[in-house]
Amino acid sequence: MIYLDNSATTKPDLEVLQSFQQVATQYFGNPSSIHGLGMETERLLRKAREQAGTILQVDSSEIIFTSGGTEGNNLAIKGIALAHQNRGKHIITTTVEHPSVIEACEGLQRLGFQITYIPVDQDGKVNVDDVKAAITNETILVTIMHVNNEIGTIQPIEEIGQLLSSYPKIFFHVDHVQGFSKVPLHFKNAQIDLCTISGHKIHGLKGTGILYVKNGVRLFSLAHGGGQEANVRAGTENVPGIVGLVKAMRLAKDMQQKADELINLKYYLMEKLHEMDHIVLNTPKNDSAPHIVHFSAPGLKPEVVIHALEEKDIYISTKSACSSKSADESQVLAACGKSYEVSASGLRISMSYNTTKDEIDIFLTELVKVLAKLSKVMR
C-alpha cells in the first residue's frame, strides 16, 4: 500500500500504540479520584502535560488537552467570543480556513457576531495589510491557520502576530494542525494567544489534541462539569490517549531531522506533475509546507481518479476530509481565484516523513496510466 493521505490522518506509530495500551492497562484509574490508583494516573497526566509544555516551549499550565483539531478550534473561537462579547463582537478570519473554523464563525454570526473574511492571493496567502484594514474597535479575535490543509500554503503568522501586538485587546488564535512538526512556529515569538494541535495528524491517536491557551487568557467553557483542564474543558481525561499524544509529539519532533528530505521529495513530485499534460499545480512552490502537493486534472472528476488509484492500492484525496463529501468545488481553490474547472477537479497528495521516493515514482507511473485511461472515456 502507498498511503498519500497523511493530511487527513496518519497511521498511528507503534510506540504510540504501545504507550496507550500500557497506560490503559496499568493506569486506568480516574485522575480525579483520591485513592492511590487515581493519584498515580493523575501524576502520569501531570507529567504528560509538563512534557507537552517542554516540547512546545510553553508553560505546562498553558496546555489544555482536547479531542483534536475541531474541538480545539471551536473552544478557542467560541470560548473567546462568549467570554469577551461585552467589549466587542467582531471576529477576523480568512476565506481558506478549515471547516471547523469557518462553521464555528458562522455559528457565532447567527448569535449576532460580525465576521470579516480576509481574501487571499492566487497562492492562498493572506496580506497582512488586509488584516490590519479589517480591524475595528469591536474586534476581539483574529483566527488564521498556519498551514492550509488543502494546498499547503504557509501564512505569515509571525508578521500577523507582530501586527496584533499593537492591539492588546485582540486575541490571536492559530490553527497549527497541519503545521506542527512540519513548519516551525514559536508561539511566544509569534505573539499567539491560542493554538490548536491534533494528535492523529502526527501519528498519534484520533480523539487527542492540544489547545495552547496563553496564561491570562480567559475562555468561556463549552463543556461544564467537573472542572478538569483548568475549568475550561470538563470531563474525565483520556490519559492513555494523552500519553500517546505526547509520545507522538516527541517522535514527530525527532523526525524533523528529515525535513530536508521531505522538502526535496515535494519539489521532485511538483516537477514531475508540472511535466504532465493537462495538470494544473495548485500548491505554490515557495511558502508552502513540505508534505502537501495539490493539483487539478481539469475535465476529470477527482473521485473517479481517487478510486482508480485505489485499485492500485494507492491512496490520495481531494480536499479536507472534513469537507471532501460536500459540494464538488473546493472553496479554497475558488478563494484563490481558480476557475470552476480547476477548483472542481482538485487532488491532494500529502506525505509523511516515512514517504519514500520509490513510492512517489510508483504513484506518478500509475497516475499517468489512470489519467490517460480516464481521458479517453471522459474527455
Same structural domain, 229 and 341: no
Q: Which of 254, 284, 318 is the last residue of a domain?
A: 254
List of residues 6+ apart from 26 with CB closer than 8 A: none
Same structural domain, 296 and 210: no
The total of structural domains in the chain comes to: 2
- Residue-level pLDDT at 256: 84
Instruction: Identify any residues that bridge with 315 across adjacent strands, giving them in sequence order.
Output: 3
Helical pair 99-109 and 69-84, crossing angle rounded to 10 deg: 30
Report the CATH number that the domain containing residue 42 is assigned in CATH: 3.40.640.10
- Residue-level pLDDT at 37: 86
Q: Which of 254, 283, 302 is the last residue of a domain?
A: 254
- Residue-level pLDDT at 375: 79
Report the CATH number that the domain containing residue 354 is assigned in CATH: 3.90.1150.10
Whole-model pTM? 0.95
Same structural domain, 249 and 298: no
Contact 7, 291 (CB under 8 A): yes
Same structural domain, 309 and 346: yes
Same structural domain, 227 and 359: no
Same structural domain, 203 and 294: no
Specify the amino acid at residue 8: A
Same structural domain, 61 and 123: yes
- Residue-level pLDDT at 325: 43
Catalytic pick among 105, 195, 322, 336? 322
Determine whether 195 is an active site residue.
Answer: no
Q: How far apart are CA 265 and CA 263, in angstroms?
A: 5
- Residue-level pLDDT at 323: 53
Same structural domain, 348 and 244: no
Q: What angle do CA 109, 110, 114 make, to 5 degrees?
A: 25
Q: SS3 for 297? A: coil
Give the chain's residues under pLDDT 70.
Answer: 319-327, 377-379
Write out the E strands in the chain. Answer: 2-3, 63-66, 90-94, 114-118, 139-143, 171-175, 194-198, 209-213, 280-281, 292-296, 314-315, 346-350
Same structural domain, 216 and 197: yes
Q: Which of 254, 270, 293 is the last residue of a domain?
A: 254
| CA 289 to chain CA centroid, nearest Å | 12
Question: What residue numbers bound the domain in which 114 lies?
Answer: 14-254
